[in-house]
Amino acid sequence: MAEAIIHLRNITKKYRDCTAVRECSLTLERGKIYGLVGKNGAGKTTIMRMIAGLSLPDSGQVELFGKDAGSGESGKIGTLIEAPSLNGSMTAKENLRFYRMLSKKKGCYDTDEELLTLVGLSDIKRRRVKDYSLGMRQRLGIAVALLTKPEFVMLDEPVNGLDPIGVVEIRKLIKKLSEKEGMTFLISSHNLPELYQTATDYIIIDKGVVKKEISQEELERERHESLEEYFLSVIGEGEAK
Amino acid sequence: MKRLFCATLYRMWKSTGTRIAFLITYVAAILYFVLARMVAVGKLGVEQAGSVSGLGDAMIIWLSGSLVIGLLVGSDFENKTIHGAICFGRKKIIGNYVAVFAVLVALLALPYTIGSLACIFAGIDMTGAEQAAISVYLGNVLIYTKGASAGKLILSYLSYAMVYVGQLSICIPAAVKLKKPAAVTAFGFFLGMLSALLATLASKVEILDNIYKLTPYRYNMETLGIGGSYGDMLLAVAVSVVFAGLMGLLSWKLFCRAEIK
């Protein structure tokens, strides 16, 4: 069994009268690529936000690398949640410089050039981000998330707005980083065919509750037609399909 | 914390809004001294002095200061760059806002300080521009005599910069709550005008005056100019530091369990 780096223990999060996440417990292991799957409003982003420390659980505990969430583990976690965290008035290079200044971790990519090339932005690195298309912003958001070569990366709809070439490039990049650098990914996506080609494990969530955790191998062994078909059967909407 | 501080200063330096705020302040400061001099030598009528005073620090620093705090806090939420800072912990984020804000306000006050020092040391006479002098800086130029010590002059400027930090620090909890730069700027500017009105009211109502004395809003050019006492200046610094600290505490209270979008 691989080393566990993230523990969620019975976390519950309510927004007024709505329970977004209910007594959720999860353990994420190093080097795996987790696909977080669920309908709109199932609680996927809320779980990611609590792991990132952007939202605090009403009860339960979030533990990252043996410490409570938000306790100063700068550089160990990379995030792209909901929308890329970018300064519009800065260029791509300046944005990366800002995030480099924030991180104490030195084991980053040697140069911004290397990272921008990885995400396909080396040609427009001097253009202000406010002039970028949705896909370009998304690519830069991924570059920011990967900047410090973090041990754990959370990506919320990472291929949103990317062209088909970009989708393939990002998929390859995630797989490479997981295999070669041992980075762990938690990816939330509604693009299930794409997620199926990337993830090694799946977490299926519905109405704030973790319904099923299954690995790619188990999924293939059980001979499911597709991830979409399996997801619908788990949340009890198989017939609707 | 140092990394967060430096990265935030870099972010502010790269912000177009911050550059505009500084440009407005620095141009206004230059115009203020030039126009005040024109009033003094009679090239502008005394009736223009009121308009000239609108370019003084009391007005401009409140305007640009509240814009800067709006950008410092509000754009951090709007651009989601706070996502990258959250790993430092919420307490440090608020502490960092207060520290960066203090530095930026001190820099906003700098052209007025330099302008008044230039007038003093170049021997430029501003007599006649009294009505444009709702500013400690121009006030110092007007009352400066060769006998006044340079130390007292510096203390006067430092204490007034700190008073501005204290006065404007009320915008920090507002920015944490409102999260929109434009809303914070409007709030700060409105408060700046309100504080001037309250000061007038406080001078007539004793109980209000007693409360007012515990805040940085009571300090003006009479108490902090080189004509004032050392005790008043030190007290002003102490009151402003405590007040800014309380505003930091209030901000943290608002932020410690808040959702970060």
- The string of DSSP codes covering A137-205 is HHHHHHHHHHTT--SEEEEESTTTT--HHHHHHHHHHHHHHHHHH--EEEEE-S-HHHHHHH-SEEEEE
- Does the pLDDT at position A110 exceed 80? no
Q: What is the pLDDT of residues A20-79, one digit of tens each?
A: 999 999 999 999 999 999 999 899 999 999 999 999 999 999 999 888 776 656 568 898
Do the Cβ atoms of A110 and A116 come closer than 8 Å? no
Structure tokens at B190: 């409105």
pLDDT in tens, B189-212: 898 888 878 888 888 888 888 888
Please name the residue of chain A whose CA is at the shortest distance from the CA of residue B89.
A70
Interface residues on B facing A, Cβ-Cβ cutoff 8 A: 3-4, 6-7, 10-11, 14-16, 75, 79-90, 257, 259-261
pLDDT at residue B168 greater than cutoff 50? yes
Domain ranges for chain B? 2-255
How high is the ipTM of this complex?
0.85
Name residue A155's beta-bridge partners: A80, A187
- At B207 the pLDDT is 87
pLDDT-wise least confident of A117-131, B58-72, B127-141: B127-141
Nearest CA in chain B to A69: B87
Cα(B132)–Cα(B147) distance, rounded to whole angstroms? 24
pLDDT band at residue B238, thresholds of 50, 70 and 90? very high
Say what percent of chain B tops pLDDT 70: 98
| Predicted confidence (pLDDT) at residue A125 exceeds the cutoff of 80 | no
- Contact between B71 and B18 (Cβ < 8 Å): yes
Q: Taking the mean position of all CA atoms in its chain, how far away is CA A72?
A: 20
Would you mind telling me the total number of residues written for chain A in this entry? 241
- The answer for A 54-73 residues in CB contact with B (under 8 A) is 54-56, 70-73
- Closest Cα of chain A to B217: distance in Å? 34
- In the numeric block, the tokens 């100019």 are attached to B225
Counting one residue from chain A and one from chain B, the pairs whose CB atoms sit within 8 A come to 77
Question: For A69-104, what is each residue's pLDDT tens digit?
Answer: 766 565 688 989 988 999 999 999 999 999 988 887
Beta bridge partners of A201: A34, A215
- Please determine, for residue A224, whether its predicted confidence score (pLDDT) is greater than 80: no
The reply to whether A98 touches chain B by the CB within 8 Å rule is yes
A158 to chain B, minimum CA–CA distance in Å? 16
CA distance A161 to chain B (A): 18
| A99 CB within 8 Å of a chain B CB | yes
